[in-house]
Amino acid sequence: MILTLLTDYGHADEFVGVCHAVARGILPPDVPVVDISHGVPRHDVRHGALTLRNALAYAPVGVHVAVVDPQVGTERRAVAVRCGDGRVLVGPDNGLLSLAWDRLGGAAEAIDVSRSRHRLEPVSATFHGRDLFVPVAAHLAAGAEFRDAGEPLAIEELQVLSLPEPRLEDGAALAHALLVDGYGNVSLDLGHEQMMALGLTIGTRAEVTCGNCAAAATVVQTFADVPAGEMLVYEDAWGAVAVAVNRGDAAAALGVTRDAEVRLAPAG
Amino acid sequence: MILTLLTDYGHADEFVGVCHAVARGILPPDVPVVDISHGVPRHDVRHGALTLRNALAYAPVGVHVAVVDPQVGTERRAVAVRCGDGRVLVGPDNGLLSLAWDRLGGAAEAIDVSRSRHRLEPVSATFHGRDLFVPVAAHLAAGAEFRDAGEPLAIEELQVLSLPEPRLEDGAALAHALLVDGYGNVSLDLGHEQMMALGLTIGTRAEVTCGNCAAAATVVQTFADVPAGEMLVYEDAWGAVAVAVNRGDAAAALGVTRDAEVRLAPAG
Amino acid sequence: MILTLLTDYGHADEFVGVCHAVARGILPPDVPVVDISHGVPRHDVRHGALTLRNALAYAPVGVHVAVVDPQVGTERRAVAVRCGDGRVLVGPDNGLLSLAWDRLGGAAEAIDVSRSRHRLEPVSATFHGRDLFVPVAAHLAAGAEFRDAGEPLAIEELQVLSLPEPRLEDGAALAHALLVDGYGNVSLDLGHEQMMALGLTIGTRAEVTCGNCAAAATVVQTFADVPAGEMLVYEDAWGAVAVAVNRGDAAAALGVTRDAEVRLAPAG
């Protein structure tokens, strides 16, 4: 068993530390707590959802808290979702968890934990990580019964995120900047098959366009396959086609913002 | 048992990691080490003291290290303080621990650990977290006798912090910006009762003034109760009255600096 | 037993968290995982090597992963090295580990783990921390046989880093800025004996020169021995002679960049 945390709380303040402190007051000492990331851009539910989906595939089965929660303190539901593969996800019902359960065997069962017996009273209006999500998750990780932690909730009631859809047309891919990491590497909503369909095999040249910015890139396996400062197209560590600049910042070079349309085509 | 750490070391360097390494060389594997925060602004003893006080209320009883220590290497004392509720605080004797023990049942017993048998020799002049505070705390968390870790010290000898005092006058509160978090949310030295005394109940409008900046705000429960970009007055997660801008930065909007006087009054 | 991690992954993304998740899926719950630092400047192998060397002296014997790996995905080897003192280092064979094993009893035995049975298949081209280094290290920390984790490799085949050499001439030290920490404190490649040879004892004045910048400093034990804003020369927590500004930034004041030559001489 493991408890994992993903939030947009950052590391400047004590929010993450207090969540750990609360968890440790509930968990047996042999249940580890792992920070997946607290660097999700503030209030960016989609970024958090993609990060959670990507990361949990590499985590042991456990209870996984995610908090990116611009509607904290309002009537939005707080939920726990049991996935087909046995994991339990805990967080606000704003779509944040939905990409993860899609990837992890689907949502098998859900409960509304907004008034869970495991919450810390009084629940503040602004810090549900501390008062609601972490205590509920820690009790579940410590062995509490899933159905006992909240009220039954129909799976169909859960909020889900929708992602933009990439298109292939005229020999080019019209894709989107799904994620930009801290280095400025840009993950697109394209996979290996679409690259093959465009003829963008290792060693070929590609043209990358975003708004008024266009750049030439080489399709390679890894950063060091091009000189420093040059742009590359590669399959990133999560299996997505991505654009980067070796030792540089592709998002800045291309003026890419979140969900921006990025056109990718063979050069010439 | 738990060991917690709070410092102004930040995450750019290895200082925090080395403290963990030292602790793990002393602690049994089943004593968790929790980072409360390492983002305290450098040398800001008051910020550290308030953060420690707020956070420890949510932590299980344990040994709690705090290091914000501009006088490291000089004659300032290093101390361990046993609180009325059983916790042990370890850190420099510069007031950093004093707000926490006030909140946690008072200082019941103190020792001077400057020359503790548990320190790492040779003690450097600049990194007492590694050489003194963490080893002493880890030995205490591992079961070492409190009085055996240093020399007896009278409680009255301990340094304490004093906080500014808010005033109510002419139907307004003259309060102070005690803490500004990483989002620019400003915590004041006012509580629920003072808000009630001013007639600032949920839904009313307030005028917030700091120096030459004045702004109108709504008294609400949570951020999402006002539109993005608008100012709110609310009770924060620690029970203090606070000023924020939904999805914005109130400290910047009001030009608030640490301990600045902030005037809060009903609008109109 | 302990597993430690040092990388240049930073805390903005989920890279570190995913490494922890992978480790926890392999390790028994009683083996702690300690983050030495993830703030190594991106791709700065030398900075990582010095940090690893300095920090491990304070860590219990364990398995120690380091990843600063600009050549990830190319033909550079991945290695595990058993040190004379019993520690095992795991990382890319680019010199990153070499300063540490020098300090820790020398390299006693090495294996090439590039195709280790413990790696996660498929190994991505860009995230060997997750797919190769951490799983290999976690299996070793969990008790797997060292020689079984890779192919035998002659010690002489391992890449080593060379450091610049300081000189004493005309009563001055010509040293180098080996490390600049997050506060702008500058560690030089000088030790206690060389300071004594120059007559720079506690309380004397020194002239510090870097390029066109010259400044006067006092030789002291700790920051608070000089007024705020003044420059000091001191022995840092790792035993190196260092230059700092009390509550300021010496690297900025002197225009010091990495490996810059810094001249240190008695004043007047």
* Residue among A36, A223, A225 whose CB faces C21 most closely: A36
Q: What is the pLDDT of residue A258?
A: 83
CA distance A87 to chain B (A): 24
Q: Which residue of B has its CA nearest to A120?
A: B58
The predicted pLDDT at position C115 comes to 97
Largest CA distance in chain C: 64
Q: State mean pLDDT over B120-145.
A: 97
pLDDT for res C36: 98
Structure tokens at A93: 């019902």
Q: pLDDT category, B268, cuts 50, 70, 90?
A: confident
Share of chain C above pLDDT 90, in %: 94
| Rounded Cα–Cα distance for residues C53 and C89 (Å) | 11
pLDDT above 80: residue C166? yes
pLDDT means per 10 residues, chain A with 268 residues, are 97 96 97 97 94 97 97 93 98 98 97 98 94 98 98 98 92 94 92 93 96 95 93 95 95 92 93
Partner-chain contact B55 A14, CB within 8 Å: yes
ipTM of the complex model: 0.94
Report whether C42 contacts C102 (CB < 8 A): no
Compare CB distances from A125 to B4, B181, B234 and report the shortest one's residue.
B234
> Strand, coil or helix: what is B48?
helix
pLDDT band for C268, please (50, 70, 90 cuts): confident
Contacts of B39 in chain A (CB under 8 A): 11-14
What confidence score (pLDDT) does residue B182 get? 85
CB-based contact, B181 to chain A, within 8 Å: yes
Q: Which residues of A touch B237 (CB under 8 A)?
A: 124, 126-127, 130-131
Q: Is some CB atom of chain A closer than 8 A to the CB atom of B6?
A: yes
Is A55 within 8 Å of C14 when comparing Cβ atoms?
A: yes
Predicted confidence (pLDDT) at residue B265 exceeds the cutoff of 90 = yes
Mutation test of the interface with chain B: which of A18, A42, A74, A94, choosing the one with the most B Cβ atoms within 10 A? Answer: A18
Which of C13, C120, C125 lies at the smallest CB-CB distance from A234?
C125
The side-by-side arrangement of strands in the sheet containing B151-153 is B33-37, B3-7, B63-67, B88-92, B78-83, B107-112, B151-153
Contact between chains at A17 and B223 (C-beta distance less than 8 A): no
**Structure token pair of residue A80:** 């726990």
Chain C closest CA to B13's CA: distance in Å? 6
State pLDDT tens for residues A183-199: 899 999 999 999 999 99
**pLDDT of amino acid C173:** 95
Choose the closest CB to C182 out of B12, B17, B125.
B12
Give the global pTM: 0.95
Q: Is the pLDDT of residue C73 over 90?
A: no
So what's the pLDDT on residue B178?
Answer: 93
**CA nearest C179 in B: which residue?**
B13
The DSSP call for residue B24 is H
> Alpha-carbon torsion A146, A150, A156, A158, what sign?
negative
Surface of B (113-172) touching A: CB under 8 A: none
Q: Looking at residues B55-78, what average pLDDT do you find?
A: 95
pLDDT-based confidence at C233, cuts 50/70/90?
Answer: very high
Distance CA B20, CA B14 (A): 10
Give residue B229's Cα distance to chain centre: 28
Say if residue B145's pLDDT is above 80.
yes
Chain B hits for C60, Cβ within 8 Å:
21, 24-25
What are the pLDDT digits (tens) for B157-214? Answer: 999 999 999 999 999 999 999 999 888 999 999 999 999 999 999 999 999 999 999 9
> Shortest Cα distance from B147 to chain C (angstroms)?
26
Rounded mean pLDDT of chain B? 95
pLDDT category, C30, cuts 50, 70, 90? very high
> Given CB atoms, is C225 within the 8 Å cutoff of chain B?
yes
Q: Which residues of C touch A183 (CB under 8 A)?
A: 42
- For C136-175, the DSSP string reads HHHHHHTT--SGGGSEEE-GGGS--------EEETTEEEE
Q: How far apart are CA B52 and CA B89, in angstroms?
A: 10
Q: Does A232 touch chain C (CB under 8 A)?
A: no
Contact pairs from chain A to chain C, CB under 8 Å: 95
Contact yes or no for A6/A39 (Cβ under 8 A): no
Q: What is the pLDDT of residue B5?
A: 98
For the ranges A195-199, C150-154, C197-201, the maximum mean pLDDT occurs at: C150-154
* pLDDT, chain C, mean: 95
* pLDDT at residue number C181: 87
Condensed to tens digits (0 to 9), the pLDDT of residues B148-173 reads: 999 999 999 999 999 999 999 999 99
Chain C's closest residue to B21, CA to CA, is C59
Query: Which residue in B has a C-alpha nearest to residue C12's C-alpha?
Result: B11
Residue A182's pLDDT is what?
85
CB-CB under 8 Å, A73 with B221:
yes
3-state percent helix, strand, coil for chain B, nearest multiple of 5 = 25, 30, 45
Which positions 29-58 of C are in contact with B (Cβ < 8 Å)? 30-32, 34-39, 51, 54-56, 58
Q: Does B233 touch chain A (CB under 8 A)?
A: no
Nearest to B10 among C35, C59, C182 (CB): C182
User: Is the separation of the CB atoms in C73 and A237 below 8 Å?
Assistant: no
Q: Which residues of C touch B16 (CB under 8 A)?
A: 35, 37
Q: Tell which residue, A35, A31, A71, A69, has the closest CA to residue A52.
A: A35
